[in-house]
Amino acid sequence: MRKYELFAISNRLTEIGVKKIRRVGHSQEFEQIQDYIKGDDYRTINWKATARKSKLMVNHFEDEKSQQVYSLIDTGRVMKMPFNKLSLLDYAINSSLVISNIAIRKSDKAGIITFSKNVDRVLPADRQSLQMQKILEILYNQKTDFPETDFESLASYVLRKITQRSLLMVFTNFETINALKRQLSFIKRLASYHLVVVIFFQNTELLDFVNKPAITIEEIYQKTIAEKFIFEKRQIVIELERFNVHSILTKPENLTIETINKYLELKARGLI
């Protein structure tokens, strides 16, 4: 968190991969048309209303309302996979801390939900001064467990308890398209009420393996199987897009940067 704050303060975020994304449209919400008052921004003049009224009229904007950004962290067995001495859950926790801190600094509200077989810990979205401390207290001792993750119970809880449309950053992992399809109906239910981003991981060992030359018949067979799994990961992205669900497929070490970029992109597009 401190590292990203330091880069942000010194305007050096691009050095670590955070993209500069230009906002589409106005950065505030349109409220009403009003008479021009000296000092109003000339770029807000509404020329059609000016022509009708025969006097200068301007679009009046109000500050954007604070949006809710939830990190939904899967603590099931799919998050046990190790990478560089950390589990996928560890990477998800680190990324959730950073994105929550950034959201609060951008005047959004950050919240946390951890889940596996059932919804475990819940911290409602807020942006009060103690919110980051509460997030730290929830996440510092989270561990993976063995049951398969139940997205049905997650969807039921979220749709019942989170009534304001929110950005849901779902940190999980799918290795095959069939694994996704078992949970897809519940993800679609979430996406019908909220803006959902499913975040899952590339298998870097498989990526390294397929880049090595295959010599023996056994190696060719193994490489073919590995390429099939890599292909299925890309198919998962396509399947999610079909149902208006955003996704991030990333290497574990790039998770935080990819998550920040997606959040900034969605903000710039006015989707949240």
| pLDDT at residue 40 greater than cutoff 80 | no
CA distance 249 to 168: 16
| pLDDT at residue 89 greater than cutoff 60 | yes
Mean pLDDT score, 7-20: 58
Average predicted confidence (pLDDT) for the chain: 85
C-alpha gyration radius of the chain? 22
Task: Please tell me the predicted confidence (pLDDT) of residue 270.
Answer: 81
Lowest mean pLDDT among 78-87, 155-164, 176-185, 205-214: 205-214
Strands 82-83 and 86-87: antiparallel
Task: Please tell me the predicted confidence (pLDDT) of residue 63.
Answer: 43
pLDDT over 90 for what percent of the chain?
A: 53
Question: For the chain, how far is it from start to end, CA to CA, in angstroms?
Answer: 23
C-beta separation of 192 from 245 below 8 A: no
CA distance 21 to 268: 7
Strands 86-87 and 68-74: unpaired
Which one-letter amino acid corresponds to residue 148?
A: E
Task: Please tell me the predicted confidence (pLDDT) of residue 221.
Answer: 75
